[in-house]
Structure 1
Amino acid sequence: MLRRAFPILLGAVLFAAGLYALLHLLRPVDTGMILHQIRTTPASALWGAAAGTVLGYVALAFYDWYALRYIGKSLSGGIIALGGFLGYAFGNTIGVSVVSGGAVRYRIYSAYGLNAFEVAAISGYIGLALGSGLVLVGLAAMAIHPHAVLAYLPYGPETVRWVAAAIFVGSVALITWMSVGDRRLSLMGYQLRMPPPGDLAGQVVVVLLDIAGASFALWVLLPMGKPDFATFVAIYSTAMMVGVLSHVPGGVGVFETVVIGTLPATVPVGDAAAALLLFRLIYYLIPFGIGFLIVALNEAREAGGFLGRLLARLPQPVQPALSTLHGLVPSLAALVAFGYGVYLLMVTMIPSVRVDAMAEGDLLSTLLREGGTLASAMAGVILLIISHGLARRVSAAFWLAVATLLAGAFAALVSDFNLHGAMLLGLGALSLLPLHKSFDRHGPLTQGVFELRWFLMVLAVMVATAAFFFFANRTVPYSNDLWVEFSPASDTPRALRAGLAASALLLLFCLFLATRPSPRRGPAADEANPLSRAAQIIEASGNPQGWLAVTGDKQILFADEGDAFIMYAVLGGRWIAYGDPVGNPDRFAALCWRFSERAARANARPVFYEVSAAHLSMWTDLGFALNKVGEEAVIPLDRASDTLVAMQPGKQQRERDGYTFDLLTPPHSDAIFQELRGVSDAWLAGKTGQEKKFLVGPFAPEYLDGFDIAVVRHGGRIVAFCNVMSAGAGRFNAIDLMRYLPQEGAAIMEFMFLNMIEHFRIEGAAEFSLGVAPLSGLSERTIARTWNRFGRMIYRHGGAFSDFEGLRAFKQAFQPVWRPRYVALPTNVSPLVAMSDVALLISGRKHRLQRRKSAPKP
């Protein structure tokens, strides 16, 4: 818990420190001066900043191109441009770009075959390239113009110049040496290697263009007296590096403090602050708005109509990437609502510039102005609160957000005839409307877990708002009379009352969260006998693996409607579900959301192990990363005749040798279980010596007595057996627990499977599953070798084969259809840690598990 919270707390501390330093620097500046400077900025400077922004974002897209080359992958230019632009447009605004930008890239690039490890490698490459580029460019600029940072360093200009030059030359020499010789550097357990010289040279050009474009976008906005461009590059690079390391979203406050503090005294602080605000708008918010517009237009495309038909004409190769954008909608809408909430709170603190719009002493004008300011502040707090519900796809939160934005627009009109503010808020409401289909969850606005990050973000907003209030109104001496002063010109009292109302509303909401009772489940699911209820759902489903829910080592979470469930086990800080949800597919998304939220309330992380490809979009919509763990061998029985014919000679030879097959239906006698136990004990003695859990049923008469059991006899004695899980009225079948006498060898299972395939084909079944071949279908890259190491630990549960290749080859002989299986997990959970946890679940270490005490019958 402390390890997860530390980066968040550190970011909060750095934000507070940056905010304090920024206010200290802005102490002599009047708010009106900043606003005046923004309004009088020349159009040429604005166009120059826009040109620098375009250059910067074009260069940023090439980071993705070189990263893909680095990992040996290639995508079309359009896909790279889309993924790169959206990754940076959203990542730069949200902050911690390697994480948020990586999540956007994963959604887009995974549609073209890249897995989570490869996208993580791309994000890591980009982070290292950008970080090292900023450092090296900053060092070079400091070596040329050391005076830019002398105020922050206790050294003379020559010392700074030579130290910066030495570090720069040494770093470049090391990077070049590693690139030319294809050498690797071990650092904190990681192996780092450089791109080949050609790619490295290209990456250097990209870094220079990126930093030049971004720094020019800010430099051109600065007033007269600014340093020359080369010197300013050193200032910008230093400020960006500090802002990135702070983990504050967008480096807000930290970046501005460093820039203002390192500019020469010839640049007025107020003019610098105005330039920084414009830079934030042009370089961060406008690209974010364009990205959000792309997502909104894509939602309109999905909805159909004229706009849908028009956008459907986009190039076919781009269509898969656009289809992944749907999953970004909840998070982006939440961010937009949160941003509008901050905006509304801030504008209530700004002294009015339209005091003459209403007559002095006009009671109606005063009431409208007072009511509008209070309404704006309250709307801002409401948007902060319901942004959490938007992130969790709550439909009521969506419609309340739209209504609140429209109310804020009305308040802007009545309080100050602020037409521009009203248009901005109205545009926000209109931009949300095409997204309404993404908010399909019903329930309370505040359902779900409010994490520490959310509380700190809201606290940061309130602290910043309070700081801005004192900054904007610092020339007004405090008096108790301010609270009861009402007139159109009373800006400070009005802002003071609005701030009090907003703070009171937020405090009441936090108290509500702290004191609300724990939610209770509805009575739709059969809580008195959950296993009986689960059995009914499984029998009606097409998922025979659902029977593993009744093995006794899992808990069950039902959908509110009682017609679907998730089976899972709890291990330490993770709730690990097995397979896809079982039952009505219409309930799966809401059920997975509820499972994730319950895990979060328990301070745990949800993991879904061995999920299929049938619901890939659902996992990405939940914000989960997918990592392939193997492939399931499924035999479509309507075309299994060729397999039976090809393998018939071996089957006939076994029959001539005296082997027979039988399928025993329950209930089974004690004598049968006595024979089966002898086979099982002999099999365990030659393997691990103990039963395994989670992925396979146990040898327990009370469990096996609910299934058909396939047996092979030799001389009237059972030498191998397997229980069969069936669902969908017998149309879908899968093997579960397999045991055989060691002297018979694994080949006896081929005889058993052939007989089962033939039996179920004659019975009219649709499919027969031979189970999962672990790590099947993965590449031979280093990533696959890492998976292999952990996979051996997981699948060492007494399988018929000692290696994965042999297991897959055995199943391939039956000519199955291979269906991929994945582990789906939040981006902050390591796949390797999740695999280790699954291994512990399989081993059945009871001292770390929360398990059911009895093994029930299906």
Structure 2
Amino acid sequence: MTFPSASEPEIDEEQRNEAGWRPFLRRNQRYLSAIGTLLVIALFGAAIFHLTAEVHYDEVVAALADTSWQSIAAAVLFTGLSFLALTFYDVAALDYIKRKLPYADVALTAACAYAVGNTAGFGALSGGAIRYRSYSRLGLQPEEIARVIAFVTLAFGLGLATVTCLSLLTVGEYVAPLTGLEPFWLRTIAVVVLGGLLTTFILAGEGREVRIGRLTLRLPDSRTASRQFLVTALDLAASASVLYVLLPSGTIGWPAFLAVYSFAVGIGVLSHVPAGLGVFEAVMIATLGRAVDVDTILGALVLYRVIYHVLPLLIAIVMIIGVEIRQFAGHPAASSVRRIGGRMAPLLLATLALVLAIMLVLSSVTPTPDENLAFLESYVPLPLVEGAHFLASLLGLALVIVARGLALRLDGAWWASIVIAAAALLLSLLKAVALAEAGMLAFFVVGLLASRRLFVRPASLFGQALTPPWLTAIGVICLGALVVLLFVYRDIEYSRELWWQFEFSAEAPRGLRAFLGVTIGASAIAIWSLMRPATTTVEPASDEALERAIAIVDAQDMSDANLVRMGDKSVMFSADGSAFIMYGRRARSWIALFDPVGPLQAWPDLIWQFIETARANGCRAVFYQVSPVGLAYYADAGLRAFRLGELAEVDLTRFELKGGKWANLRQQVSRGQRDGLEFAIVEPEAVPAILPELAAVSDAWLAHHSAREKGFSLGAFDPQYITAQPVAVLKCGGRIVAFANILKTATKEEGSVDLMRFSPDAPKGSMDFLFVQLMEYLKVQGYRRFNLGMAPLSGMSSRQIAPVWDRAGRAFFEHGERFYNFKGLRAFKSKFHPRWQPRYLVASGGLNPILALMDATFLIGGGLKGVIRK
């Protein structure tokens, strides 16, 4: 990607000199967001503690026990209806982007995405991660997957707003006390919002495009909008009914409850707290507390979380791992699961590990039932019970750490999960005879054993630094445990003596000690993740490594891989030595140039090896200018693809200057011949003789363009690099006026050029003449295609449903001519009527792709000054 010009490489002094609050916020946004999430959790936790001031833990347990099996069965039924409705979000999204996939595949993907997203709802464990891994395996391009995710998110948000506003028109008085507004104003706001949504619906017509300034929005047609409203209404109605049937009958009318439920879900979504944990509960208690006993609400909310959040996750895992059992593998019903299940199972099991971690930590701060405690007192020594209680809480914290490793398919995480789950299972029996807890852990172990073949990535589990979302999850668990601890033992006055009480009946001291252990462990993990130093440095490839890499380049098809000959990049080889990745480092980004070079079967492990090494050094892994071929491998490693532009390829087997579309190029060739241009290929052994002339042309070109040499993704005029392969030259009057070094491999699949330099006095159209002559030469030599290079930011969409990345890139492509000649470069390549192939930047989500693109631009340009100067 030929973003702006070069200068001498700069160290990070410009970044060091930045001052003010904006750079501070930009650098620390992830950490500030995590702190904000924890503050929201703390505030709503305090609200729950205040709202339940008159409630006792025993009353909540009694309310849970009093729930009828008929109510539970009805809740399960409505959960199934809700998830059925949720699958049609993805169906409509695929229809909107005009892609057709089998419903079985879409339904499985959507169900698993919502099972994970509803339960975890953050970072790597989200519905977006599930969709990206699954749909990339089903052939969707990254921008198409991003549009699906955007459509689903927007459809749910608009549907939720519509249903909530319609409900508020009739039951505003139930929500008014919570908001502090009068029912009249709530209804007024609802009418205004509904009016805006109705106006949008009318404007949409049949997919009309509306232009707002420079932005073009494609509105969904009325059929799509109507269908999505019905899907959202069905989803919300069914999910609200899950909680409604768990409450005592006659508590509140169903329409009023739907409004309250929709409002609570919306507040939970806006809070950005994982799964709306604590936020949703606080809103429901504050709203319904006047109509029903709070202990009953708490009991219903606990059951709702289990039935609507945990149960679908368990069912999804059963479906996925079922096909791992050999006797079911050949069943026709398993075909869809078998196709994409292997990409989703690690995320599902990681989510379950997170759920089990919460279960273990919370159970450590809640009392053991009296009958179980009496049984333990008769058969188990007190020190064993105390130790089991304390250790089980720490194992819960350990499960959070291995959950991340499971999501990344680490073999070490699989072994650690087996050991932790087995130990926790035993301890759960010793500390409280917790049969349900032990059963969940046993289910987890079975799922791990059935999915063993999926966890094959060799990596050090303890070398993994937890990212801010995972540290936030640990913080949320600790805060949740604190709220539960204070709620359960609110009637016990605190004293320092509690810490030293060791008795079977001393439940509060056991809970305090367990919470302290979890807090200390979580703090240690956070400090280690945030403060640990990098373990290695990045050095350019040695001469021996370059020779090995060049041998691999010559045996494969990608001509651009010859950029490794520059020697300015580091090289990482696969375990078997058959493939390599060339990369550079800028700031906290390890940036790999192109896909791995070598056999396709070596790519997955090599990609993972690079990602693992970058993370072990506290850096982000980035892949720059990658092709669609490897997107499934990057998605499987938890990375996302963002379009950079399009690569132009000319099919040399069909290249000939005949027909009307080639008229302009024919004229340029004829003009060049009249101007006396002569084309020639200089073989490598003869290049040193003309090197002074080439250097003169190159220096004149750089001076004329006020530019310096670039690097990384582009070659520089280095004698060793220039003399490594043939050079195409143009002469005029016996003097070289233009040249281009040719990149090629022994397979003759593809040819390309890197440096293209010409003298300021070269005849007009010289580069067109050179390219035509070079393509005709390569065609005669038996090459199949010619790589014209990438047009940056080309091919990006500006439609409403397009990702923000694409719309921003499109806007820069259209209006960024003062920074770079984006349109001119694409127009030049278009002269040769190429096939346009997308190229991507691959990184993790959040701000990482933006920071990675900045780092790549600085790496190419040679620092901030080099970028600004040209």
Normalised by the length of structure 1, the TM-score is 0.83
Which residue, out of 95, 103, 126, partners 1:77? 103
2:329 alignment counterpart: 308
> For 1:69 and 1:466, how far apart are their aligned partners in 2?
46
Matched position secondary structure for 1:145: helix
Residues 742-783 of structure 1 deviation map (CA, whole Å, 9 limit, x = unaligned): 444513432233334434x4xxxx866434354899598756
> For 1:361 and 1:684, how far apart are their aligned partners in 2?
85
Matched position secondary structure for 1:546: helix
1:117 alignment counterpart: 143
Residues 712-757 of structure 1 deviation map (CA, whole Å, 9 limit, x = unaligned): 5577554554323344698875433344544445134322333344
Instruction: Report which stretch shifted further, 739-748 or 218-227.
Output: 739-748
Residues 328-383 of structure 1 deviation map (CA, whole Å, 9 limit, x = unaligned): 34443333222211111111222121546656865744344334323322321221
1:548 and 2:563 correspond: yes
> For 2:394 and 2:619, how far apart are their aligned partners in 1?
34
1:770 alignment counterpart: 787
1:18 alignment counterpart: 44
2:687 alignment counterpart: 668
> For 1:420 and 1:331, how far apart are their aligned partners in 2?
23
- TM-aligned CA distance change 1:73 to 1:787, over 3 Å: farther
Residues 452-498 of structure 1 deviation map (CA, whole Å, 9 limit, x = unaligned): 33222212212221322232233334455544444443333333333
> For 1:50 and 1:634, how far apart are their aligned partners in 2?
57
Contact 2:349 2:447 in 1 (8 A): no
1:752 and 2:774 correspond: yes
Which residue, out of 154, 160, 164, partners 1:138? 164
Shift of 1:806: 5.5
- TM-aligned CA distance change 1:447 to 1:667, over 3 Å: farther
Contact 1:694 1:841 in 2 (8 A): yes
1:391 alignment counterpart: 407
Matched position secondary structure for 1:519: coil
- TM-aligned CA distance change 1:717 to 1:483, over 3 Å: closer
Which residue, out of 672, 691, 695, partners 1:677? 695
- TM-aligned CA distance change 1:677 to 1:799, over 3 Å: farther
- TM-aligned CA distance change 1:589 to 1:163, over 3 Å: same
Shift of 1:672: 0.5
Matched position secondary structure for 2:535: coil
1:27 alignment counterpart: 53
How high is the sequence identity, in percent, across the aligned residues? 28
Matched position secondary structure for 1:668: helix
2:241 alignment counterpart: 216
1:854 alignment counterpart: none
1:464 and 2:480 correspond: yes
Equivalent residues in 2 for 1:773-792, closer than 5 Å: 774=791, 782=799
Equivalent residues in 2 for 1:332-731, closer than 5 Å: 332-355=348-371, 358=374, 362=378, 364-510=380-526, 513=529, 518-520=534-536, 531=546, 534-535=549-550, 538-539=553-554, 543-551=558-566, 554-556=569-571, 564-570=579-585, 574-583=589-598, 588-593=603-608, 595-596=610-611, 605-627=620-642, 629-631=645-647, 633=649, 659=678, 661-666=680-685, 668-669=687-688, 671-680=689-698, 691-711=709-729, 717-718=735-736, 720-727=738-745
RMSD of Structure 2 on Structure 1 (CA): 4.3
- TM-aligned CA distance change 1:269 to 1:621, over 3 Å: same
> For 2:528 and 2:848, how far apart are their aligned partners in 1?
34
Instruction: Report which stretch shifted further, 431-440 or 510-519.
Output: 510-519
- TM-aligned CA distance change 1:794 to 1:542, over 3 Å: farther
User: Can you give the 5+ residue segments of structure 1 that lack an aligned partner in the other structure?
Assistant: 851-858
> For 1:551 and 1:846, how far apart are their aligned partners in 2?
22
Contact 1:712 1:752 in 2 (8 A): no
> For 1:12 and 1:465, how far apart are their aligned partners in 2?
13
Shift of 1:80: 3.4
Amino acid at match of 1:257: A
Matched position secondary structure for 1:450: coil
- TM-aligned CA distance change 1:600 to 1:185, over 3 Å: farther
Which residue, out of 203, 215, 239, partners 1:178? 203
Amino acid at match of 2:299: A
> For 1:415 and 1:107, how far apart are their aligned partners in 2?
40
> For 1:698 and 1:794, how far apart are their aligned partners in 2?
25
Residues 215-251 of structure 1 deviation map (CA, whole Å, 9 limit, x = unaligned): 1111111124511111111211111111000011110
Instruction: Report which stretch shifted further, 677-686 or 191-200.
Output: 677-686
Matched position secondary structure for 2:59: helix
Shift of 1:273: 0.4
Which residue, out of 56, 62, 67, partners 1:41? 67
Instruction: Report which stretch shifted further, 69-78 or 87-96.
Output: 69-78
> For 1:162 and 1:736, how far apart are their aligned partners in 2?
65
Matched position secondary structure for 1:388: helix
1:856 alignment counterpart: none
- TM-aligned CA distance change 1:185 to 1:92, over 3 Å: farther
> For 2:154 and 2:724, how far apart are their aligned partners in 1?
56
Instruction: Report which stretch shifted further, 454-463 or 363-372.
Output: 363-372
> For 1:508 and 1:831, how far apart are their aligned partners in 2?
29
Contact 1:626 1:822 in 2 (8 A): yes
- TM-aligned CA distance change 1:453 to 1:613, over 3 Å: closer
Contact 2:394 2:521 in 1 (8 A): yes
Contact 2:687 2:726 in 1 (8 A): no
> For 1:189 and 1:15, how far apart are their aligned partners in 2?
39
Residues 285-328 of structure 1 deviation map (CA, whole Å, 9 limit, x = unaligned): 11222233333345x27xxx3332236x656xx47xx5444333
- TM-aligned CA distance change 1:232 to 1:153, over 3 Å: same
Contact 2:136 2:631 in 1 (8 A): no
Matched position secondary structure for 2:290: coil
Instruction: Report which stretch shifted further, 471-480 or 403-412.
Output: 471-480
> For 2:88 and 2:47, how far apart are their aligned partners in 1?
35
- TM-aligned CA distance change 1:841 to 1:406, over 3 Å: closer
> For 2:375 and 2:857, how far apart are their aligned partners in 1?
75
Equivalent residues in 2 for 1:732-747, closer than 5 Å: 734-739=752-757, 741-743=762-764, 744=766, 746-747=768-769
Shift of 1:200: 2.6
- TM-aligned CA distance change 1:793 to 1:836, over 3 Å: farther
- TM-aligned CA distance change 1:643 to 1:675, over 3 Å: same
Matched position secondary structure for 2:487: helix
Contact 1:683 1:742 in 2 (8 A): no
Matched position secondary structure for 2:78: helix
1:263 alignment counterpart: 288
Contact 2:796 2:809 in 1 (8 A): no
Say how many residue pairs are matched.
824
- TM-aligned CA distance change 1:244 to 1:168, over 3 Å: same
1:823 and 2:841 correspond: yes
- TM-aligned CA distance change 1:742 to 1:491, over 3 Å: same
Contact 1:388 1:446 in 2 (8 A): no
Amino acid at match of 1:619: Y
Shift of 1:697: 1.8
Contact 1:98 1:123 in 2 (8 A): no
1:152 alignment counterpart: 178
User: Can you give the 5+ residue segments of structure 2 that lack an aligned partner in the other structure?
Assistant: 1-26, 660-665
2:261 alignment counterpart: 236
Contact 1:326 1:621 in 2 (8 A): no
1:62 and 2:79 correspond: no
> For 1:207 and 1:41, how far apart are their aligned partners in 2?
28
Matched position secondary structure for 2:583: strand
